Amino acid sequence: MFCKQCGKEIPNAAVICVHCGVGTDNFRMSPRGIGGGTIFCGYLLAFIMPLFGIISGIYLLLQKCYLHGIIVILLSIVFWIAWIALFLR
């Protein structure tokens, strides 16, 4: 494969040109994905501290992790009600 910018030959699997630094067709500018640790913390916060679980769920929604974001928010609301019921007995 040849670089679109400088025209020098580069390996077919190259992400950027080693000569001029321009991205090749293999280069994708995509946002960083959400790691499993972030999702796990959201679920954990939903159980232990529901208010922070809701905030974590909103963060997951903003990062386009819709399914986990909605589940974390719903679990936070359920556990918030459960905590209130537990302490108001």
Per-residue pLDDT, 13: 83
- Structure confidence by residue, pLDDT tens digits, 63-72: 888 999 999 9
Taking only the tens place, the pLDDT of each residue in 12-58 is 888 888 888 888 887 765 445 677 888 899 999 999 999 999 999 99
Residue 89's pLDDT band (cuts 50, 70, 90): confident
Query: How is residue 11 written in tokens?
Result: 């390996």
CA distances from 38 to 19, 27, 34, 59, 79 (A): 37, 26, 7, 10, 19
Q: Which residue has the higher pLDDT, 74 or 15?
A: 74
